[in-house]
């Protein structure tokens, strides 16, 4: 009877670890698909679009950077 309980417990732990590993690998995949990791700035924040080239804050409606004319994402 104790062995059965231990087996169920071990199985539950194994499933928990597997689920954790799966969610971690999924998160890594999502980060990889999000785009190049070399951009340290978010595309937009607080109603502003940040220029990826010069880090100038632009209005969220702007399509190009007001400082350098670079095309803005989003």
List residues near Zn ion by CB under 5 A: 51, 53-54, 56, 65, 67-68, 70
Reading the block at residue 42, the tokens are 């978010």
Query: Exposed (0-12), middle (13-18) or buried (19+): which is 73, by Cβ within 10 Å?
Result: middle
Q: Is 29 or 60 the residue whose CB approaches Zn ion more closely?
A: 60
- Could you tell me the CA-to-CA distances from 43 to 11, 27, 29, 35 in Å, in that order? 43, 20, 19, 11
Alpha carbon 46 to chain centroid, angstroms: 18
* Closest distance to Zn ion from the beta carbon of 67 (Å): 5
Q: Is 54 or 59 the residue whose CB approaches Zn ion more closely?
A: 54
* Closest distance to Zn ion from the beta carbon of 56 (Å): 5
Q: Is 22 or 55 the residue whose CB approaches Zn ion more closely?
A: 55
* Closest distance to Zn ion from the beta carbon of 37 (Å): 20
């Amino acid at each position: 009877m104790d062995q059965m309980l231990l087996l169920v417990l071990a199985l539950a732990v194994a499933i928990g670890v597997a689920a954790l590993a799966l969610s971690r690998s999924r998160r890594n995949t999502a980060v990889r698909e999000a785009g190049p990791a070399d951009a340290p700035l978010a595309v937009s924040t607080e109603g502003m679009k940040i220029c990826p080239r010069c880090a100038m804050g632009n209005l969220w409606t702007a399509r190009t950077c007001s400082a350098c004319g670079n095309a803005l994402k989003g």
